[in-house]
Each structure stands twice: as C-alpha cells, then as structure tokens.
Amino acid sequence: MLDEIKNQLKALLPYLEADLARARSTADLEEIRVAFLGKKGQLTAILKSFASLDPAERPAAGKLVNEAKNLLLDAIEKKALEFRESEYEQLIESEKLDISLPGTAVLPGRRHPVSQVLSEIESIFTSMGFAIAEGPDVEDEYHNFEALNTPKEHPARDLHDTFYVEGGFLLRTHTSPVQIRIMQNQKPPICIIAPGKVYRVDQDVSHSPMFVQVEGLMVDEGITMGHLKGVVEVFLRRLFSEDVAVRFRPHFFPFTEPSAEVDIRCVLCKGAGCRVCKMTGWLEIMGCGMVHPAVLENVGYDSEKLTGFAFGMGVDRITMLKFGINDIRLLYENDLRFLKQF
C-alpha cells in the first residue's frame, strides 16, 4: 500500500508540470493549486486513502505526502514569481513617461468676480466693527414679510415677485429675515451685516432670479440718520474711491422710516452721462433708512428707547459697476472665457 502511494505521488509531478506550462496568469495558478491541494484536490484524495494503511506505515506515508506537497507549492510559487515579475515589467512599461514631451499647462483657479467683491465688502464692514450673520435661504412669510412691516397686500408678496414653496415657505427675497432673527435672539447693541443669496422672480440683462445681497443693521440707544450716512459714505469711498460723490434721495421702504436711496457719481463716465447711468451722471447703489418702529416692536424692542438703521445692496450690481460688465447673466453662465478675465 505504501508503494502504491509513492507511485501516485510520483505521477502527480508530470501533470503539475504540464498544467504550469499552460498557465498564463496568477488566476491560472490559483486554479492549479486548488486542483492539486484543495479540499477536492488530487493530493487530498491520496490523504483520504490513509484510512486503509497499516498504522505502522502511516508516518512514512505522511512524510511522503508532505514532501510532495512542498514540491507542488514550490513549483507553483516559482511560476507565480515569474508572473509577478512579468506583470511588474508590463506595468512599468505602460507607465513610462517621455520626459522629452512638452508639459501640460496647469491652469490656476480664480475666485468668481462676485465672490471677490463680496469678500471686499465683508472686509470693509468687519474693519468698521460689524459682525457677519447668516440665516436660512428658505424662510417663512413672517420673517420675510410680516415682521418687516410688509402687509399681505404688498406687491412684493405676489407670485410674480416671490418664489413660494410648499408648507407656507418661500425662498427669501432679501437677507432682512436674518436681521429679524438676530434681534429676536440678541439684545442691543447690534452691529451686523447679513450677506447671502436671495431669490426673486425676475430675469433680464440687469436682473437675475438668484443674486447676492448684503444687508446691514445697527441698533442701540441714540442711533441717528447721521450715523447711517457716515457709515455708508465711508463704505462707498473705501469700495470705489476716496473722491467718489455720494448722495441720498428720499424713498420708501415698509421696514424703514425715513428711507433713502443712495447714489454715487457714475464711476464709468465720471458724471458726464452715459448709457449705464442713463445720462444722469449718477448710479443707484443701495437702499437704506432708519429701522421702522413697528419692526422694533415686532421683535420685542422698546421703540421709544432704541433706534437703529439698516441698509441693503446687491453685490452683483456692484460687481458689474466695478468691472464694467453690462449683462448680469454673464456672471452665472460659467463661461471660462469671461470669468478668467477677473
């Protein structure tokens, strides 16, 4: 019986050599290993025959099987090493670089022009002591309209001006709701700006359904229109130029009283009159005013004791003025030929 096992083991080697010669990959080698050494492999079948061996012959038979197993594994590993070396050489060849070829230009990134101007605006106001406040883009009607003294019949609340969503919510039409939320949760003094995206149903060469706005708020005892004018004038002269002319025109906003529109001398024609300023020599730049007493009362402030001012501006419009852009839609078309100029 022992001689029979010796012959069976000896007969395995030619089969192994033939299979290894046909192998073309490490996957083929794994199939060969399973065929000879797996649970249903040929060597395993020989081991099962040990049950019929004389107990005295089993140690010698076990030694023979172990030697055969080591021979099989060595042969498979040797072939695997050849495959790994060959595969590595192929990998090196496939990744070879021709260092004589011209390099690929790396295009530097740029900040979007609106982001550049917004960053400059934030920097100016934070240097003046204003903190930056943020709020949700999806608002309820109370914070967006009612708390700001905007009645239900006001045209700004119509469907053709405001994007409404389900559940009584809407996309905020200005960042003023941030001011309301700050006042509801913070006691004066308050000195903040609220930058962020706002949304309105409007689209043409000078209007976008989504644009960036910055609003400001200061509330404390003794705040006057003089403080508002001083802050606005300092801001505009730092943003445009020290010699820019600024004027305030009476206006109406439901959330401020008195209210004003702020104009600057046209930065393109220097006041001579051009298409952009409609030959007036002036450009409307922002709205502002003293916070309406009703707004202060809506957030629980004592309007007899506290006063404040607020202002708001469209960053997209300021960007157009600073860079001489004549169509707001260019800012959001993602045309790299346009954006890489800034």
Instruction: Identify whether residues 195 and 249 lie together within a single domain.
Output: yes
Structural domain count of the chain: 2
Answer yes or no: is 103 within a domain. Answer: no
Residue 84 shares a structural domain with residue 127: no
Residues 89 and 119 in one domain: no
Token pair 């644009």 is found at: 211
Closest C-alpha to 217, from 172, 183, 260: 183
For 280-325, what is each residue's pLDDT tens digit? Answer: 889 899 999 999 999 999 999 999 999 999 999 999 989 988 888 8
pLDDT tens figures, 200-251: 887 665 567 888 999 999 999 999 999 999 999 999 999 998 988 999 999 9
Q: What is the token pair recorded at 138?
A: 């999806």
Same domain for 286 and 333: yes
Is position 107 within any domain?
no
55 and 132 inside one domain: no
First to last CA, the chain: 90
Same domain, yes or no: 69 and 213: no
* Domain boundary residue, one of 94, 121, 143: 94
Range of the domain at 250: 113-339
**CATH number, residue 139:** 3.30.930.10
**Residue 177 shares a structural domain with residue 34:** no
Decide if 216 is inside a domain. yes
> Residue 90 has what pLDDT?
82
Q: 130 and 47: one domain?
A: no
Provide DSSP, 17-77. HHHHHH--SHHHHHHHHHHHHSTTSHHHHHHHGGGGS-TTTHHHHHHHHHHHHHHHHHHHH
Other Cβ atoms less than 10 A from the Cβ of 101: the count is 7
Choose between 91 and 288: higher pLDDT. 288
Q: pTM score, two decimals? A: 0.66
Do residues 29 and 146 share a domain?
no
In a domain, 28, yes or no: yes
Q: Does one domain contain both 35 and 142?
A: no
Element (H, E) at 15: helix 2-22
Instruction: State the Cα–Cα distance between residues 295 and 313, nearest whole angstrom.
Output: 20
